[in-house]
Chain A
Amino acid sequence: MPEPTKKRITDIGPPHYEQFLPPAVKANYGKWLYHEFVRPGVLMHASETGDKLYTVRAGGSRLMSIDKIRMICDLADKYCEGYLRFTSRHNIEFMLTDPSKIDALIADLAKLGHPVGGTGRSITSIVHTQGWIHCHSAATDASGIVKAVMDGVIEHFQNEDLPAKCRIALACCLNMCGAVHCSDIAILGVHRRPPMIDHASLKKTCEIPNVSASCPTAAIRPGVVNGFESVVVEEDRCMFCANCYTVCPSMKLNDPLNDGVSIWVGGKVSNARHEPMFSKLAIPYIPNNPPRWPEVVDAITNIIDVWKANARLNERLGEWIERVGWPRFFQLTGIQFEKLHIDDFKHAGLTFKRSAHLMY
């Protein structure tokens, strides 16, 4: 550990946000009256003071170099008095008081390779996790799939041409740093092989009772293997959550032969119309196929196309499915319903169809 620096500052917390607010935002804080969608990617907020603020929303990759951040700062200096913000979904927002500058800003963003969109009834940037860039438990990459999927659906980012907004999210394992479980479409990395236990190291690196206790289905018990005090996994009971690997590095689940992604649909967090909903399983497994995961891109564009062709205006993906029923979702998308779609964890019975409300 290095020596402490001379003057050490700690526990100051984040800087106060007020110093970062554009002047027009500061002047109209709490005074906004309404907003309009000027065109895809451009919002206009009107204040009771009579001020109007134009926001240009640009898509970004979550992983950015400091070089790119500096270029974005140059644009904010040129057009926005030296202020900008990011959205909860990795978009970059430029706020202007002079609408005549919007076209020039959008043209400059295009030169940097950043499309404008993600407002209203559109797909916006995908929230995602680290994947192979930085994570030890990833069952798939994150940035690569996201890039390929966004290339495939970019027309729906740049145009407000969908029945409702569509939020896509990716988590590279079940830990879900990205909490994707309430997304219109979730891409979830999955392991499919029970832990490959390093019996020689387990006792040295992990507490055996902790490893046993970590398993939500009680599949792990202490045991002696090849003379080593270790654990034994009852493989039929493993549902590949990898919680044991999180508490013990000797319980590795990562496996190139079996890892891949699953696709989940129909979740939402907004309270608009329907209450928040979890996403439900659409496709149990697609093998990892880097660099561009074409099967994942095709599966997602297919689901979006079917939803767009069949849903009523305002219906999010999950709301549409709820109206027409899951059998029709599977029929229209051509996705095969199979045993794995039926829940068998806690409260699974609540997910069975418990009425004669069926559509023929």
Chain B
Amino acid sequence: MADEFPKTPLLDELEKGAWPSFVSEIKMAAKRNAASRDLLGLLERSYREKIGHWKHGGIVGVLGYGGGVIGRYCDVPEEFPNVSHFHTIRVNQPSGWYYSTSALRKICDIWERHGSGLTNMHGSTGDIILLGTRTDELEPTFSELTEVGFDLGGSGSDVRTPSCCLGKSRCEWACYDTMALTYDLTKSFQDELHRPAFPYKFKFKMSGCPNDCVASVARADISIIGTWRDDIRIDHDAVMEYAEKGLDIQKHVVNFCPGKCMEWTGKKLTIDNSTCRHCMHCLNLMPKALRPGKDQGAVVLIGSKAPIIEGALLSSVLIPFWNPQPPYSDLKDLVGRIWDLWCEEGKNRERIGEFIQRVGMGNFLEMIGVEPIAEMVAHPRENPYVFYEEYLVEDDGEEEEGQN
């Protein structure tokens, strides 16, 4: 079967149109690779039958690691023997997804020798995904990857491969060095990343500014979003330049300011920074004229996740302003306290956000030793069912404390 190209009339339809075609990519690999040829045949069958043909799970990996490889077996191996095993290897990407062509070519060469020749650049979490190989190829692939300086990413109930926006490398808005922090955290948490020991997955995502280009607020257990505390820096000449080039500053900048903290006279822009929400809209529209202030750092938020199991959550504020300085010990200590608690008290497959929902944010803060502050809530509670923790009892005129 796999010696010749399968007929794929349905998939061929996806080679039409102007957008790059993944079918053409599989066909390119299939010229030299039997697994990719069988993948074409199997996928055509899925398109015909409207159902996938992969079995549930399968625990495989490299020696000494519990994560980094997603086991996958085809449910019709007799028909498609070359994808009977089709395991995925997650390779930890460099911060910011920058590559030299020589490094990328090395990965391609390794994958030519040991796998399907198909990749994802990149997977959702950020890893380089090497898509599809056999169990006996895992260890040799890993060995060659580490020889050229690459290591596996996370999978399962462990620290997932941290990822970040490109930060200070090519963006004027980055309020801290996202790539440096990501590299440092990844190196510091190698054991937690490679050997799953948590109730469930744990993700770090680093964004350099509130535009949040890596969607950290929606999908990271710890979201670190750059911001500043002092005044937005204004270049008034550059503001005028934007106005002269046709930007309607009143209509498109000032009127959209959520803090209503800007005034434009037609000649001068003023900002009441005390009610600036650091949303980025005005900076986005006039990058040459407006810059973040100089007192830069990050907001640390906790607990976002997709719906499974108890519903989707956005991250919420844990530290309103953090000054990230290597070796970032303050953050690592805090994360250590969170992990200790969660590993002890968390239920199987309970993300930290769900854990906080279950035990209560107030209790959670108390257990990790963080003071509750007003920045952590959108507003105080609306319901009067308060768990008052202490009450007074009468005793010979002296008041004693009781506890419920």
- Contact check, B183 vs A16: say whether CB atoms are below 8 A apart: yes
Q: How many residues from A make CB contacts under 8 Å with B? A: 116
- Contact check, A73 vs B105: say whether CB atoms are below 8 A apart: yes
| A127 in contact (CB, < 8 A) | yes
- Contact check, B118 vs A151: say whether CB atoms are below 8 A apart: no
| A356 in contact (CB, < 8 A) | no
User: CB within 8 A of B258: which of A64, A77, A273?
Assistant: A273
B1-34 Cβ-contact flags toward A at 8 Å (1 or 0): 0000000001101101111111111101100000
A345 to B211, CA, bound (A): 30
**What are the residues of chain B within 8 A of A45 when measuring CB–CB?**
170-172
Query: Of B46-54, B265-273, B332-340, which binds chain A?
Result: B46-54
From known contacts A85-B98, A346-B311, infer whether A176 and B306 are also in contact, taking CB-CB under 8 Å: yes
A123 to B258, CA, bound (A): 24
- Contact check, A60 vs B284: say whether CB atoms are below 8 A apart: no
Q: How far is the CB of A247 from chain B (nearest CB, A)?
A: 8
User: CB within 8 A of A64: which of B112, B120, B139, B219?
Assistant: B120
B106-135 Cβ-contact flags toward A at 8 Å (1 or 0): 001001100001111111111000011000
User: CB within 8 A of B308: which of A176, A276, A345?
Assistant: A176
| A88 in contact (CB, < 8 A) | yes
Q: Number of contact residues on B: which range applies?
A: 35 or more
For B207, the closest partner residue in chain A by CB is A269
User: CB within 8 A of A63: which of B26, B102, B125, B311?
Assistant: B26
| A83 in contact (CB, < 8 A) | yes
User: CB within 8 A of B20: which of A32, A61, A138, A249?
Assistant: A61
- Contact check, A60 vs B179: say whether CB atoms are below 8 A apart: no
- Contact check, A83 vs B17: say whether CB atoms are below 8 A apart: no
- Contact check, B97 vs A85: say whether CB atoms are below 8 A apart: yes
**What are the residues of chain B within 8 A of A227 when measuring CB–CB?**
none
User: CB within 8 A of B215: which of A83, A179, A256, A345?
Assistant: A179
User: CB within 8 A of A272: which of B28, B97, B284?
Assistant: B284
- Contact check, B19 vs A61: say whether CB atoms are below 8 A apart: yes
User: CB within 8 A of A271: which of B13, B92, B211?
Assistant: B211
Q: How far is the CB of A274 from chain B (nearest CB, A)?
A: 7
- Contact check, B194 vs A10: say whether CB atoms are below 8 A apart: yes
- Contact check, B215 vs A4: say whether CB atoms are below 8 A apart: no
- Contact check, A273 vs B256: say whether CB atoms are below 8 A apart: yes
- Contact check, B50 vs A290: say whether CB atoms are below 8 A apart: yes
- Contact check, B288 vs A11: say whether CB atoms are below 8 A apart: no
From known contacts A11-B194, A76-B101, A83-B99, infer whether A345 and B186 are also in contact, taking CB-CB under 8 Å: no
- Contact check, B26 vs A65: say whether CB atoms are below 8 A apart: yes
A43-69 Cβ-contact flags toward B at 8 Å (1 or 0): 001000000010100011111111111
| B151 in contact (CB, < 8 A) | yes
- Contact check, B177 vs A30: say whether CB atoms are below 8 A apart: yes
User: CB within 8 A of A292: which of B13, B119, B166?
Assistant: B13
Q: Which of B159-204 contact A (CB under 8 A)?
A: 163, 165-166, 168-172, 174, 177, 179, 183, 186-187, 190-191, 194
Query: Of A18-26, A99-107, A300-308, A327-335, which binds chain B?
Result: A18-26
| A216 in contact (CB, < 8 A) | yes
**What are the residues of chain A within 8 A of B147 when measuring CB–CB?**
9
From known contacts A36-B288, A77-B101, A288-B50, infer whether A66 and B112 are also in contact, taking CB-CB under 8 Å: yes
- Contact check, B51 vs A256: say whether CB atoms are below 8 A apart: yes
- Contact check, B143 vs A8: say whether CB atoms are below 8 A apart: yes
From known contacts A69-B121, A83-B100, A276-B212, infer whether A63 and B19 are also in contact, taking CB-CB under 8 Å: no
For A171, the closest partner residue in chain B by CB is B306
From known contacts A68-B25, A136-B55, infer whether A176 and B307 are also in contact, taking CB-CB under 8 Å: yes
- Contact check, A64 vs B98: say whether CB atoms are below 8 A apart: no
> Which of B18, B49, B51, B101 has most A Cβ within 10 Å?
B101
| B322 in contact (CB, < 8 A) | no
**What are the residues of chain B within 8 A of A269 when measuring CB–CB?**
212, 215-218
| A284 in contact (CB, < 8 A) | no
For B13, the closest partner residue in chain A by CB is A291
Interface pairs (10), CB distance under 8 Å: A1-B139, A12-B149, A34-B172, A61-B25, A151-B17, A174-B307, A182-B215, A246-B308, A288-B50, A346-B310
Additional pairs, 7, CB under 8 Å, beyond known A32-B172, A175-B306: A13-B187, A20-B99, A21-B169, A67-B117, A73-B105, A88-B215, A131-B52
Listed from nearest, the 10 A-B pairs whose CB atoms lie closest are A151-B17, A176-B306, A249-B56, A271-B210, A179-B219, A150-B19, A73-B101, A9-B146, A256-B50, A66-B108
